């Protein structure tokens, strides 16, 4: 499926040659995210991501960077998470090597103009203001803060308005020099490309960067008796609820069983939560679940949006469905979840951006890449006994936390997680 080369300075290059495609996606993954930040630096990784689009040595303005990619019909963007920052461009395959030049320039020699930093500070503050207008997003942030309180893993990735206003240019530049080093980066390319040509371009544009040791990330800390229920009172038309259960880390063999639990519970319109709370009881418009895996921790989260008057009954019904799942799963239902999981992966592999993401994220965070066939085999190997054993461990109400945003107070949920 893929080829891998490590340059002398430690930069990893992974490619998937897909000669049937007309596109190529070039991605650069960097070990930089909110888990690498001290409290006073909250939002630093995200701020830096924005700054790298403002100009670099060979294209010194944001306009020149955008025009170089868009003039060939390409699209580009970036994203910051807790453990990684991603820069990517999807272009016609004939422009792939040029895009390596563009992204390499951005992640090695950004301009870092003080005037542009102040402009981008204002843009990021507007981005954070937009989050305030999204109560569903706020509930997801609040539940992470509740599950991992007072630590980087539970902190909002973009930081706070206060922290963003206070970040100086010197801190952004210092963090860039610390984290954006070859051994902490992966160049992942998927599409109608040749591995040897990608490696040659990587050598040209990134091979001369001096190796260095990146800064560490902050490990997950125990909750130590912190409140398990948090409510953000807000004048909204709906109540937005999130349950989160501590789960397994990225390298755990149990994560495949957790993924199947998630499929059964809240993935899609045939999931148990959707069928019961929406189709049967009409309590919600949207209910779904998702998993998150990190280097040393993980979570399974359930979201529901409902009438505030139904907030309590919706929360109770959600917990009831998780307990029903642990009471037993018919073999046919487990098989359905396996086919769904495998099918979703297969569909992803038709897009060069998804393939590049598959390669780059695994290589950066795990140091190795499982192929699609290997992951399919892992799903097939999950037994009903293993599923229920993992489910009893993960979906334990005694370990769960609950966060809600809406015209509510914490008394709404009194005793619900007792």
Which tokens is 16 given? 């998937």
For residues 55 and 111, give the distance between their C-alpha atoms in angstroms, rounded to a whole number: 5
Inform me whether the pLDDT recorded for 418 exceeds 80: no
Residues in contact with 169: Cβ distance below 8 Å, sequence separation at least 6, in sequence order:
112, 114, 117
Q: What is the pLDDT of residue 290?
A: 98
Q: Which residues pair with 4 in a beta bridge?
A: 14
Mean of all residue pLDDT scores within the chain: 97
Q: What is the pLDDT of residues 85-141, one digit of tens each?
A: 999 999 999 999 999 999 999 999 999 999 999 999 999 999 999 999 999 999 999
- Domain 3-206 sits in which CATH superfamily? Metalloenzyme, LuxS/M16 peptidase-like (3.30.830.10)
Inform me whether the pLDDT recorded for 18 exceeds 80: yes
Catalytic residues: 49
Confidence of residue 29 (pLDDT cuts 50, 70, 90): very high
For residues 365 and 13, give the distance between their C-alpha atoms in angstroms, rounded to a whole number: 14
Three-state SS string across 391-405, please? HHHHCCHHHCEEEEE
**Helix/strand/coil for 187:** strand
Q: Which residue has the tokens 């080829």?
A: 3
Q: What is the pLDDT of residue 334?
A: 97
CA 134 → CA 152, 178, 244, 345, 405, distances in Å?
Answer: 22, 34, 19, 29, 10
Q: What is the pLDDT of residues 169-213, one digit of tens each?
A: 999 999 999 999 999 999 999 999 999 999 999 999 999 999 999
Domain ranges in the chain are 3-206, 229-413
Q: Does domain 229-413 have CATH number 1.10.540.10?
A: no
Q: What is the pLDDT of residue 354?
A: 97
Inform me whether the pLDDT recorded for 5 exceeds 90: yes
Q: What is the pLDDT of residue 1?
A: 80
> 3-206 with 229-413: one CATH topology?
yes
Residues in contact with 215: Cβ distance below 8 Å, sequence separation at least 6, in sequence order:
36, 175, 178, 179
- Range of lowest pLDDT (153-157, 187-191, 414-418): 414-418
> What would the DSSP string read from start to end of 104-141?
HHHHHSB---HHHHHHHHHHHHHHHHHHHT-HHHHHHH
Q: Determine the straight-line distance between the first and last CA of the chain, rounded to whole angstroms.
A: 48
If residue 29 lies in a helix (H) or strand (E), which one and from where to where?
strand 23-30
The answer to whether residues 186 and 14 touch, using CB atoms and an 8 Å cutoff, is yes
Inform me whether the pLDDT recorded for 281 exceeds 90: yes
**Helix/strand/coil for 147:** helix
For residues 125 and 105, give the distance between their C-alpha atoms in angstroms, rounded to a whole number: 26
């Amino acid at each position: 499926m893929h080829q891998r080369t490590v340059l002398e300075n430690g930069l990893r290059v992974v490619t998937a040659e897909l000669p049937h495609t007309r596109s190529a996606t070039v991605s650069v993954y960097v070990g930089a995210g909110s888990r690498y930040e001290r409290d006073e630096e909250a939002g630093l990784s995200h701020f830096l991501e924005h700054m790298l689009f403002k100009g670099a040595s060979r294209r010194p303005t944001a306009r020149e960077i955008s025009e170089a990619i868009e003039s060939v019909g390409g699209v580009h963007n970036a994203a910051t998470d807790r453990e990684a920052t991603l820069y990517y461009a999807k272009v016609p395959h004939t422009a792939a090597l040029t895009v390596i030049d563009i992204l390499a320039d951005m992640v090695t020699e950004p301009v870092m103009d003080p005037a542009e930093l102040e402009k981008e500070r204002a843009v990021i503050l507007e981005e954070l203001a937009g989050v305030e207008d999204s109560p569903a997003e706020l509930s997801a942030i609040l539940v992470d803060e509740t599950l991992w309180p007072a630590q980087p893993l539970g902190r909002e990735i973009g930081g706070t308005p206060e922290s963003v206003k206070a970040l100086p240019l010197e801190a952004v530049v210092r963090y860039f020099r610390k984290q954006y080093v070859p051994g902490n980066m992966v160049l992942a390319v998927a599409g109608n490309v040749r591995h040897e040509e990608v490696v040659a371009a990587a050598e040209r544009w990134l091979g001369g960067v001096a190796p260095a040791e990146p800064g560490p990330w902050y490990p997950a800390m125990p909750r130590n008796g912190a409140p398990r229920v948090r409510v953000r009172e807000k004048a909204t038309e709906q109540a937005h609820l999130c349950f989160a259960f501590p789960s397994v880390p990225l390298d755990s063999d149990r994560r495949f069983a957790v993924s199947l639990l998630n499929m059964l519970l809240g993935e899609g319109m045939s999931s148990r939560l959707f069928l019961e709370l929406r189709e049967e009881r009409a309590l919600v418009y949207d209910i779904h679940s998702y998993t998150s895996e990190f280097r040393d921790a993980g979570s399974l989260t359930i979201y529901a949006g409902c009438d505030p008057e139904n907030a309590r009954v919706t929360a109770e019904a959600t917990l009831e469905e998780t307990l029903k799942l642990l009471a037993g799963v018919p073999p046919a239902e487990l098989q359905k979840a396996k086919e769904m999981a495998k099918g979703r992966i297969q569909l992803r592999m038709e897009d060069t951006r998804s393939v590049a993401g598959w390669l780059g994220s695994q290589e950066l965070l795990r140091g190795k890449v499982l192929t699609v066939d290997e992951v399919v085999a892992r799903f097939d190997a999950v037994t009903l006994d293993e599923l229920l054993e993992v489910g009893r461990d993960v979906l334990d109400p005694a370990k769960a936390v609950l966060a809600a945003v809406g015209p509510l107070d914490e008394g709404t949920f009194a005793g619900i997680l007792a």
